[in-house]
Structure 1
Amino acid sequence: MIRVLVDSAADFSQEEIKERGLYLVPLQVNFEEEQYLDGVNLKRDEFYQKLTSGKVFPKTSQPSPQEFLNVFEEVKKNGDELICILLSSALSGTYQSALLARNMVEYEKIYLVDSLSAVVAVQMLCDTALKRIAQGKTAEEIVEELEEVKGRTRIFAALDTLEYLAMGGRISKAAAAIGEMANIKPVITVNKEGKVDVIGKGLGINRTLGFLQKKVEEAQIDEQYPIYSLFSYGEENCGKLEQRLEKKGYQIQARRQIGPAIGTHIGPEAFGICFCEK
């Protein structure tokens, strides 16, 4: 039997994890002495309320190799195959922890996929894997497809501020300075190396929405894969983006909320789009 594992940066709910029959290895979110498991005992809105209270900036930490090893040993015992689809290795040490655990378990039927992305892009890869399992594809065939598809996934998101990315060390303070001006909305992407890039800035929400719409229209979208809208905390601007795109004929499959693993670094009022190019 082929099983699939994700880490909590995929932002599946507990219900979705159960429905899909996935293994979940969570990242940890720490507010000083308060420790939470992302996607397990910390609700998303509760997380953003803590984040915006201004009292403590949270820290996220990768799962330990032992947490992966516990799953890998179970898979080995059952004689199953396991495809692990993980948060970008350029953003977290999660992939490295999984790699160490795989070396420890000494079992050839565990496959690691570095998504080079996060959030809904990982969901897209996961759902593709589950679809191919149902179609009777082998694990090797599925992993080969995922490695090809991940290079075509695109995420574009507008942030309210670059403050959180700078505080989390994901961009330099110099890069964050462009977001200091009033009403400037920085636009970011996850590049092909799995890192965060600032690709533009909009003056006011309408220009920012126009910028995001243009990025979608410039792309040749592969309609075999879903288009997702995404938001962190506050859905108004996400809804406006959906309306613009739907008027242009794009079908948004679902609106997905970004959880703590990535929300720590982008903050509230972020919104954007994820799709796969041809």
Structure 2
Amino acid sequence: MSKIRVFSDSTCDLPPELREQHQIGIIPLYVTFGEDAYKDGVEMTPLQLFHKVDELGYLPKTASPSPGDFIQAFAPAIEAGDDIIFIGLSTELSSTCQNAIIAADSFPEGRITVVDSRNLSTGIGLLVLKAVRAAEAGRTLQEIEQIVLDSRDRIETEFIIDTLDYLHKGGRCSSLQNFIGSLLKIRPVVKVVDGRMILAAKLRGKREKTLEQLIQNALHFKDQLEGETISVTHALAEEEAIQVREILLRETNAKEVLLAETGCVISSHCGPHTVGIVLSRNGS
């Protein structure tokens, strides 16, 4: 009997055990230092990436999987008689979904559905989990697609970046802004709005204070939470992420608060010691 397989790309940042449990197919993006390209999460880990940035003094470039990468990943599922829904990194940030669409055209019509998440990191991951649960409940490909489309604008994704260094290396702030920001201990708050990353605020002060602000921003939605899952996502900040997770478990009705680590692509943009909270709110 055919089934529906859910695929995503490596920027969904779902923990490996969830990927295995639900047989979620992952197509990695690439990080490139000079002439050397590495598959995100396959050939390079975030810790290795941070070490390499420290060593070389510059950030890697990132690249989408090619249509050929998608064809290679999709083919076994299609040959097994399964249909596929792919949920990928926002088209405002990457050509990943466009390349997935090109690949889908190589297979019989209607077998592969591609959905732009309009999000990143576990903002994608929460949509992937919604799709998986719907597939496991026996919903059709069209029904699953509609569930994801109805949910994607209700995903709240917010990160606090610990240092301006990576924004500076990535050309997103000047040397002067980086210098002044470091002196004043300014930590940017990045949100995802309309599929794009925006600078929502600049918090000044001790790290504990800024993390408390992140938590309060999430708790603003605690009466509007949809579904069972919240994600606390971090880059090399596991201890603090665990503390944030415990607070959210205590202060919300969420049945599950995931602890997730950003992959290489997301880490290369946000830098180490970043902490984020991702949740899905209802339509009210």
Counterpart in the other structure of 1:241: 244
Q: 1:275 aligns with which of 264, 272, 279?
A: 279
The answer to whether the 8 A contact 2:160-2:275 is kept is yes
Q: 2:93 aligns with which of 84, 87, 91?
A: 91
1:1-278 paired onto structure 2 within 5 Å:
1-12=3-14, 16-168=18-170, 171=172, 173=174, 179-191=181-193, 193-203=194-204, 204-219=206-221, 220-246=223-249, 248-249=251-252, 251=254, 253-278=257-282
Helix, strand or coil at the partner of 2:113: strand
TM-score, normalised with respect to structure 1: 0.88
**Aligned residue identity for 1:187:** V
Deviations 1:127-151 (A, max 9, x none): 2212111111111111100111111
Deviations 1:226-262 (A, max 9, x none): 0111110133432443354455346562211111011
**Aligned residue identity for 2:188:** P
Corresponding pairs, count: 276
Task: After TM superposition, give the deviation of residue 155 of structure 1 in Å.
Answer: 1.1
Superposition CA RMSD, Å = 2.5
Q: Give the Cα separation in 2 of the matches to 1:106 and 1:176.
A: 52
Task: After TM superposition, give the deviation of residue 272 of structure 1 in Å.
Answer: 1.6
Q: Give the Cα separation in 1 of the matches to 2:227 and 2:17.
A: 25
TM-score, normalised with respect to structure 2: 0.86
- Structure 1 stretch displaced more, 72-81 or 88-97: 72-81
**Using a 3 Å threshold, how does the CA distance of structure 1 residues 16 and 277 change in structure 2: closer, same or farther?**
closer
Q: Give the Cα separation in 2 of the matches to 1:199 and 1:45.
A: 27
Q: Give the Cα separation in 1 of the matches to 2:71 and 2:176.
A: 38
**Aligned residue identity for 1:78:** A
Task: After TM superposition, give the deviation of residue 223 of structure 1 in Å.
Answer: 4.5
Q: Give the Cα separation in 2 of the matches to 1:116 and 1:176.
A: 29
The answer to whether the 8 A contact 2:191-2:198 is kept is yes
Task: After TM superposition, give the deviation of residue 90 of structure 1 in Å.
Answer: 1.1
Q: Give the Cα separation in 1 of the matches to 2:220 and 2:175.
A: 29
In structure 2, the gaps of 5 or more residues are: none
The answer to whether the 8 A contact 2:8-2:25 is kept is yes
The answer to whether the 8 A contact 1:76-1:107 is kept is no
- Structure 1 stretch displaced more, 220-229 or 238-247: 238-247
Task: After TM superposition, give the deviation of residue 75 of structure 1 in Å.
Answer: 3.9
The answer to whether the 8 A contact 1:86-1:113 is kept is yes
Q: Give the Cα separation in 1 of the matches to 2:168 and 2:94.
A: 16
The answer to whether the 8 A contact 2:58-2:169 is kept is no
Identity %: 28
Q: Give the Cα separation in 1 of the matches to 2:85 and 2:63.
A: 22
Moved over 6 A (4+): none
Q: Give the Cα separation in 1 of the matches to 2:274 and 2:111.
A: 38
